[in-house]
Amino acid sequence: MKEKALSGKRLDYLDLAKGIGILIVMLGHFPFYGEPHISIQLYDFIFSFHMPLFFIITGIIFGYSRKWEKQTFKELFIKKLKTIIYPYFMLSVIALALQVLEMIFLNSGSTFDLQVTIMRTLTLKGYNALWYLPALFFTEILFFALEKLKVNRFIFVAVTPVITSLLAVYVYPDVSKMSYKSTAGDIFFLVFLYSVRAFITCVFIYAGFFAYKLLSSDIVENHPVYVFSAGLILLAADIILFRFNSSVNICLLQIGNPFLYYICSFSGSFAVILMCRAFPHKLRFISFLGMNSLVIMATHNRAAIDFAFYFETLIKKVCSFINFFPPQLLRLAVVFIILVAIETVIVLIINRFMPFVKSFPEFGKNKKSV
């Protein structure tokens, strides 16, 4: 009874973790103009764990809520089409609209860029960070299939990293060369990419699934200082170790050294999760970003960033008028804050006027009875 009563309170930290995660994702896609020495190191650090974090959080949620165990695979498949693939296409339309606005008002981009975005959307590659939604869909479907087939979880987690690492490091470079040469080559490339990536990210979902019991235990609940300290230690480990690996990007199956990739992914992700788990108070704005991370993931594209830099040029003119010239890093920080503000406005607009974008409309159902 105690666990059930505290489950809602304990899940607040996941919104906070997702909020921090989405800010990190935005930072990872943010252009640090004029500061290449900072951007390279920062990007490599962020990419070492930022997307595994979201898959691990998904696994934790699966651990807390076991409703999926009572549903058939068909029911789960249809549900995920509605909750992941439907929003993917709706949010892709919004991303495309932002590109059009960018062309009209900022005279940036081209019709070719729009064509590329449409093709990436239709092939489920996704525009910018929107690749995450189809990847999440395939990963969750794989997870449900493994669970329904009662595959040994520990054997899967032990064997999968070895096999997928070999495929990603040694086979994927050759398979990627097949793309764009023929229709069959394109199809084989996409199937290979989506399949191997799903198996890799499914390991992260299982990591969160295994961790939820510890994260929901009284030991963690009653010793926040130790939990926060453990998070700091894991963060320090990632900061030290990511430098020894090459640049990684799970979207493109670039994992570098497999051992370092998994170590950094787990240490960085659980560092954020543990520190949020230990945090005694809810940071409302960051939690708000976490609860709306899906929309932000989709809309913080080049168009939104260009609009943020456009506002920065106006601020620069004001600073020039008053003879104040802030350092480049301060200006970039202001642009990032503007970007967060733009994303907040987009979220509020979608939540207020376009809720159908995030959830599949259930026609003919009585909302009071749902």
User: Using CA atoms, how far apart are residues 102 and 117, in angstroms rounded to an integer?
Assistant: 14
Q: Are 67 and 273 in contact (CB under 8 A)?
A: no
Per-residue pLDDT band for 280 (boundaries 50, 70, 90) equals low
- Each residue's pLDDT tens digit, 118-149: 999 999 999 888 999 999 999 999 999 999 99
DSSP output for 318-366: HHHHTT----HHHHHHHHHHHHHHHHHHHHHHHHHH-GGGTS---TT--
Above 80 in pLDDT, residue 364?
Answer: no
Residue of 217, 188, 166 whose CA lies nearest to 63: 217
Residue of 128, 105, 122 whose CA lies nearest to 299: 128
Residue of 108, 220, 215, 200 whose CA lies nearest to 156: 200
Q: How many CB atoms are located within 10 Å of the residue 103 CB?
A: 16
The first and second tokens of residue 289, run together, are 């970003």
- Each residue's pLDDT tens digit, 23-82: 999 998 888 766 666 678 889 999 999 999 999 999 999 999 888 999 999 999 999 999
Helical H runs in the chain? Answer: 2-28, 36-47, 50-64, 73-80, 86-105, 111-122, 132-148, 153-166, 172-176, 183-215, 218-222, 224-241, 258-278, 284-291, 293-299, 302-321, 328-353
Above 90 in pLDDT, residue 260?
Answer: yes
Q: What does the mean pLDDT of the chain come to?
A: 88
Residue 25: phi and psi, rounded to 5, are -60, -45
Per-residue model confidence (pLDDT) at position 2 = 40
Above 60 in pLDDT, residue 155?
Answer: yes
Above 50 in pLDDT, residue 105?
Answer: yes
Per-residue model confidence (pLDDT) at position 17 = 96
Per-residue pLDDT band for 6 (boundaries 50, 70, 90) equals very low
Percent of the chain at pLDDT > 90 equals 62
Per-residue model confidence (pLDDT) at position 367 = 44
Q: Which residues pair with 249 in a beta bridge?
A: 254
Q: Are 270 and 211 in contact (CB under 8 A)?
A: yes
Task: Indicate the pTM of the whole model.
Answer: 0.91
Query: Who contacts 99 (Cβ-Cβ below 8 Å, separation ≥6)?
Result: 109, 113, 114, 117, 301, 302, 303
Above 70 in pLDDT, residue 15?
Answer: yes
Q: Are 191 and 40 in contact (CB under 8 A)?
A: no
Q: Identify which has the larger pLDDT, 104 or 261.
A: 261
Q: Are 76 and 67 in contact (CB under 8 A)?
A: no
Per-residue pLDDT band for 323 (boundaries 50, 70, 90) equals confident
